[in-house]
Structure 1
Amino acid sequence: MAINFDKAFGIHQHTIGIRSRRTEILAGNIANADTPGYKARDINFKDALQNAKTRSGVHLNRTHESHKFAQSFSMAQSGELYRVANQPDTGDGNTVDTEVERNLFMKNSLEYQASLDFLNSKISSLRKAIKGQ
């Protein structure tokens, strides 16, 4: 009997990559908190998850069989958007609110860890089932 990983892992197999990407974006926001003109970015999780589940994207044509398969994603296709500023402009055009970014970073880290724990539990259950325990 074949194992269907989509059924076994649910959406958590997709959330790991999205949460990882969101960690990079939020860390970039925090790192650029003092950069004039920098606009805070974030991911629309719902849209990014839908794209990951349907594996949509722009497929690049290969002109030779030895070329590697590649996909290209625009900012909008990945669910990445600019965040609306919560604070008035300080004159430098930067929209990063460090406190908000740190809170979102921590929340994202917890959600990432929860998805990892869920996947570890599922993998452990599958391993036991394969061994017949």
Structure 2
Amino acid sequence: MQTSNKFLPIGSLADRLGASEDWRGDSLLLRGRRQALLAGNIANADTPRYQAKDLNFADAMGQALNSTIAPKMEASSDRHFTSESVARPKSTLELAGYTDPSQPSLDNNTVDLDRERAGIAKNSILYQLAMMVYEDELKEFKDAAGDPMKAPR
């Protein structure tokens, strides 16, 4: 029996750190987008034929780290941007997919409130964890850039 790993492999993340300098920012952005999708699902829990959407964070983060380059642009001056310097960000709906219904409903609505609430709780915790990493990094930067004579001993 083969199990699928839904998490980013540690090695691949460490290998890709140079590919996207702001991977922490990408992760915060994706967590915020996922939270909006899950909240939208809850808001549409009573809408007939509404199909619940979710964001597979590992896939979306992998796409963000390996962002595709925009189509080739013709530069008539050396001051123009090149296609390598411009990448088109994906919208939330391009990254989102439909969730499989856990049980059938009479109105064909696929929102499972328990699943959505659990997803929001988990995503909130991971978002706060990512924010704490950012805050710790900012604190270290401020300490390093500050006056060494005023540093706590």
TM-score interval for Structure 1 and Structure 2 normalised by the shorter chain: 0.7 to 0.9
Shift of 1:56: 2.5
Q: TM-score, normalised by structure 1?
A: 0.76
Alpha-carbon distance between aligned partners in 2 of 1:34 and 1:50, rounded to the nearest angstrom: 33
Residue type of the partner of 1:30? I
Gaps of 5+ in 1: 1-5
Moved over 6 A (4+): none
Structure 2 match to 1:54: 66
SS in 1 for 2:54: strand
Change (3 A) 1:19 1:75: closer
Q: Which has the higher contact order (CA 8 A, sep 6+)?
A: 1
Change in 2 beyond 3 A, CA 1:16/1:90: same
Question: Residue 127 in 1 paired to residue 142 in 2?
Answer: yes
Residue 33 (structure 2) aligns with: 21
Q: Tell me the alpha carbon deviations over residues 1-26 of structure 1, each in whole angstroms, 9 at most, x when there is no partner.
A: xxxxx67x874222100000001000
Instruction: Confirm whether residue 12 of structure 1 aligns to residue 29 of structure 2.
Output: no
Asked whether the 8 Å contact 1:75–1:81 carries over to 2, the reply is no
RMSD: 2.9
Could you tell me the TM-score, scaled by structure 2's length? 0.67
Q: Aligned residues, how many?
A: 120
* Cα distance between partner residues in 2 of 1:74 and 1:17: 11
C-alpha displacement of 1:51: 1.6
Q: What are the ranges of 5 or more consecutive residues in structure 2 without an aligned counterpart?
A: 1-16, 75-79, 81-85
1:109 counterpart = 2:121: no
